[in-house]
């Protein structure tokens, strides 16, 4: 140990010197530090600008869910257990409507959302389409949220640069970059989930990225990240944005028709069309007809929302009720018109479940609006019923019918309505026909099979 003896006066002089010199040194160092400068233009690349544009409208999603057998990433020993799930979403409307993957929120008790400014909110599921693995959730935000710029997937080029933003492994707003590796990929990720037209990219897409945006170099969303290939490196997939827009349009339309009626039939907007949505038809004696709208008109604005995408009209109709007035801007030839549309209350709702189908067949069915069916399915069938649930070990399950299929026929009859199914299942000669042949739509394919039925005293019973 080194000992040192210093006189009290010496200590006093030493402390004063040390404090004085320390202050001077600190002040000197602060004075000499250069003021913070804006990053140079060379550093603010197109990628940086693209992320800055899109990031405020990307949200992170968390929630507890049950591990299902259909999860390709699930450890078989964990099936049936409650686990913490994670994913990503994108704000498509300032009132807090967010698009994400259905598998991100499927089975989640409480959907917890973190905004880009770190605020935490709770969301609720408002619409879903298991077939395309897309869903819409609603955040009850306290103020208007920024929405993401949306591009098109109709002109994508193999090799062009892309950027993914998402909640990768729980690391919020992770940014990765890459290129488009291929287009129109068909991917089977599980027995229950098949994607028929995906963008393939080598931008890192990890668990938690699902539901987040794939951006082009201009910061526009051109896809929704959806899947990774287990064990593969540099291979990820995204749903093309044009398909996303079409599905969101259908989901919002189905939601809006539960509350209001307007009488407009709009033509799906093509990439080559001028801004605005074309009126394909106007129903007789409808609010649209009373407002003076005509077939061929072009809607350019509804209240303060510009009609740039096919789902913009449905966004404008959200949260409306019968009697609400809507201001329309319309282009008719070379004229620009302002019209007032007063919405009517929706007609009485049709049944959305068939007890007979669940009891005897093991599947829950829902009606599909005729215009929605025609828009989504290019087929000879007049309509169909969406399969929303399948009971395990039921005739439907044994025949491989999945949630998301569309039942279009049984035996010699079509199944356009729930009443059609009830009629078929109540026929006294049903037992004589043996197993009943059924027809379903799955994507663009028509599939068929035979449903074995159990009868007792001439009536159907549950198997």
Q: Hey, what are 121's tokens?
A: 């909110």
**Across-strand partners of 62?**
86, 112
Most distant CA atoms of the chain, gap in Å: 117
Other CB atoms within 10 Å distance of the CB of residue 146: 15
Active centre residues (catalytic): 103, 133, 210
Element (H, E) at 237: strand 236-240
As a whole number of angstroms, the distance between CA 145 and CA 330 comes to 27
Residue environment code for 385-401, b if the CB has 16+ CB neighbours within 10 A, otherwise e: bbbbebbeebbbeebeb
Q: What's the number of CA atoms in the CB half-sphere (13 Å) around residue 385?
A: 29
Instruction: Specify whether the CB–CB gap between 384 and 406 falls below 8 A.
Output: yes
As a whole number of angstroms, the distance between CA 162 and CA 168 comes to 17
Phi, psi at 280, each rounded to 5°: -80, -35
* Planar angle of CA 141, 145, 148, nearest 5 degrees: 140
Q: Can you tell me whether residue 106 is helix, strand or coil? A: coil
DSSP state of 150: B
As a whole number of angstroms, the distance between CA 121 and CA 112 comes to 6
DSSP state of 71: -
């Amino acid at each position: 140990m080194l000992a040192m003896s210093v006189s009290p006066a010496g200590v006093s002089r030493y402390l004063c010197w040390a404090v004085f010199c320390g202050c001077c040194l600190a002040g000197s160092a602060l004075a000499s530090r250069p003021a913070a400068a804006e990053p140079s233009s060379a550093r603010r690349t197109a990628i940086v600008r693209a992320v800055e544009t899109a990031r405020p409208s990307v949200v992170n999603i968390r929630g507890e869910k049950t591990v299902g057998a259909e999860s390709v990433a699930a450890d078989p020993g964990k099936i049936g257990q409650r686990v913490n799930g994670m994913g990503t979403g994108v704000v498509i409307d300032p009132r807090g409507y967010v698009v994400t993957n259905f598998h991100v929120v499927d089975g989640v008790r409480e959907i917890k959302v973190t905004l880009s400014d770190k605020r935490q909110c709770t969301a609720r599921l408002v619409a879903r389409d298991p077939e395309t693995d897309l869903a819409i959730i609603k955040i009850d935000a306290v103020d208007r949220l920024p929405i993401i710029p949306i591009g098109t997937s109709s002109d994508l080029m193999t090799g062009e640069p892309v950027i993914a933003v998402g909640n990768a492994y729980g690391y919020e707003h992770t940014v990765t970059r890459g290129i488009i590796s291929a287009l129109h990929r068909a991917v089977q990720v599980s027995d229950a989930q098949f994607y028929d037209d995906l963008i393939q990219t080598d931008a890192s897409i990890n668990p938690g990225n699902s539901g987040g945006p794939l951006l082009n170099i201009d910061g526009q969303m051109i896809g929704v990240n959806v899947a990774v290939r287990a064990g593969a490196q540099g291979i990820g997939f995204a749903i093309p944005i044009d398909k996303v827009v079409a599905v969101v349009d259908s989901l919002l339309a189905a939601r809006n028709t539960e509350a209001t009626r307007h009488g407009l039939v709009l033509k799906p907007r093509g990439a080559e069309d001028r801004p605005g949505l074309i009126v394909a038809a106007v129903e007789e004696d409808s609010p649209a007809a009373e407002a003076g709208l005509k077939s061929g008109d072009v809607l350019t604005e509804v209240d303060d929302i510009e009609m740039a995408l096919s789902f913009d009209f449905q966004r404008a109709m959200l949260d409306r009720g019968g009697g609400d007035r809507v201001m329309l801007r319309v282009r008719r030839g070379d004229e620009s018109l302002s019209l007032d549309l007063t919405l009517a209350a929706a007609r009485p709702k049709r049944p959305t479940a068939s007890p007979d189908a669940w009891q005897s067949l093991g599947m829950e069915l829902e009606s599909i609006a005729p215009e929605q069916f025609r828009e989504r399915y290019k087929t000879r069938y007049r309509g169909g019923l969406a399969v929303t649930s399948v009971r395990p070990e039921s005739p439907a399950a044994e025949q491989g019918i999945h949630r998301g299929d569309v039942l279009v026929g049984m035996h010699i009859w079509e199944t356009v309505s729930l009443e059609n199914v009830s009629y078929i299942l109540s026929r006294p000669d049903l037992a004589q026909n043996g197993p009943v042949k059924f027809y379903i739509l799955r994507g663009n394919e028509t599939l068929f099979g035979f449903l074995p039925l159990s009868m007792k005293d001439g009536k159907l019973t549950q198997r």
